[in-house]
Amino acid sequence: MKKILVWDLPTRLFHWLLAAGFATAWITAGSEEWMAVHTFAGWMMLGLVVFRLVWGFAGNRYARFSSFLFSPKAAIAYGKDVLTGRAKRHIGHNPAGSWAIYLMLLMVPLVVVAGLVTIGAEDGAGPFANMLPEAMGHDLKELHEAIATGMLVLVGVHVLGVIVESRVHKENLALSMITGKKEGQPEDDARRPYRIAGAALLALAVAGAAMFFGTPAAAEHEEHEHERGERSYSRAVVADNAKWRAECSSCHMAFPPAMLPARSWTRMMAEQDKHFGESLGIDPATTKEILAFLQKNAGDVVQAGHASRFARSVPAGQTTQRITETSGWKREHDEVSAKAWRNVQSKANCAACHQGAEKGNFDEDDVRIPKTPIGAKKP
Amino acid sequence: MRRFILVTALLAALPVWAGPQDILNGYAAQAKQENPGFKGFSAAAGERFYHTKGSTGVSCASCHTDNPRAQGSHRTTARNIAPIAPVANRERLTDPAKVEKWFGRNCRDAQGRACTTQEKGDFIAYLLSIK
């Protein structure tokens, strides 16, 4: 027995870059601020899988698919052997590990495509921009997350298998994935480390990152992120008017004009004597000024991220008065529990969860849902 | 001459800088005009009025709480309402137009009708009596 080469450099790099990509994507998931990094991690993983499929025919003997073609039955049998401590040692990929690879090669494209289709539907961005309606965005996201969770389970099983096997065979399998070396017979040595191919793969990944983060496309993407986040909402509110703010923020927060279409605001001001059960009695001059401001900044007139989506979800010809009755608003809030709604008392109370609501920031990252009823005030 | 301008300017600015007492005096003048037998405002009557539920089942206290010094909350939107008593909130009762606007709105919402000048004055007298 002596040290022999098993994993060539491209295979090792593929493994660790994929692991890093998955970890990055998992950590940055759901954060609008980190969306660009999240998206890049996905693209990198997809590129790595494409490379691995090629390398499965072009790599050294242990990297080739032909060296680890096992049936699912063999994989399950091997898994049982691992659990009972009787698993046979493999120099290359063992049957269970092989299936982890197959599944990973299958799930990465699935999760990435599901993610891209989600972005395409929700934000109208990426290669699948507007391929599916925005209304499906939520379900697509759930699918994307379900696949990702499946991958995490797979990673967990894989790591567990590596730990158990390393103990059973008294060798550090994780270390051999770094050095490429294992103890073995000289005739099992793969000999070819493919250092240049490995360097090329790494260079490709770096070039991909540079392209993604350094090109106008990335800048546009980033701008898009901002548009979706704080800035656009701020813009809806920053278009400020003292009278609008004073009058419309005394009984509830001053809701951004972009959240309803102009025709809804027109009706709202015309029917101010029955404003959700109250009579406003705003003088005609003030009413006129406020209405002009609302119409100028209405969601069907200006583009202001999710806010204008609420307005645009109001069916043509309808003049919905409650923002919370627009399908756009409902879609954004369908995950809020009944208990949370009780705690905030009123759906009009945006700032109970959206910490920056008064300043026009409805960013998902700044949402804190109260755990106890907010009305529990001291006298 | 300079002193004259200064005094005039100060006098001119007086209505803008109205204090709660000025507003109460305004209502008193109005009440006298409406009713020759007007005998002044009563803080005790104002306090009763504050807690009286109108045809709507709502009183001033429903939103402003039983303690005018405390922060209130809008019944449907849960919006915070700053304390209504000037002792707890110096911005209260400083703008006659604002005071009129809120009497206009809230009398309808609570009493189901407009308030009389007597009621408005009693109400302010009550708020000013809170130390």
**Between chains, do B101 and A379 touch, taking CB under 8 Å as contact?**
no
The residues, ordered by sequence, that sit 6+ positions from B96 with a Cβ below 8 Å of its Cβ are: B15, B18, B22, B23, B26
Which chain B residues contact residue A358 at CB under 8 A? none
| Mutate which: B56, B73, B79, vs A, most A CBs within 10 A | B79
Which chain B residues contact residue A251 at CB under 8 A? 74, 77, 79
Residue-wise pLDDT for A336-369, tens only, equals 888 889 888 888 988 888 888 887 788 777 788 8
What residue of B is the nearest CA neighbor of A278?
A: B109
- Check whether A60 has a pLDDT greater than 80: yes
**What mean pLDDT is predicted for residues A277-289?**
88
In this predicted structure, which of A155-169, A237-251, A252-266 has the lowest mean pLDDT?
Answer: A237-251
Residues 7 through 46 of chain B touching chain A, CB cutoff 8 Å: none
Asked if A40 contacts A30 with a C-beta cutoff of 8 angstroms, the reply is no
DSSP A354: B
For the record, the structure tokens of A120 come out as 């395409």
Residue-wise pLDDT for A210-230, tens only, equals 888 876 555 555 555 554 444
Q: What's the CA gap between B54 and A174, in Å, rounded?
A: 77
Say if B76 is an interface residue toward chain A (CB within 8 Å): yes
CA-based end-to-end distance of chain A: 81
Q: Which residues of A334-352 are buried (b: 16+ CB within 10 A; e: fewer)?
A: eeeeeeeeebbbbbbbbbb
Residue-wise pLDDT for B48-76, tens only, equals 999 999 888 899 999 999 999 999 988 88
- Which runs of E-coded beta strand occur in chain A? 2-5, 181-184
Minimum distance, in Å, between the CA of residue A341 and any CA atom of chain B: 12
pTM: 0.55
Q: What's the CA gap between A282 and A272, in Å, rounded?
A: 8
Lookup result for tokens 């601020």: A33
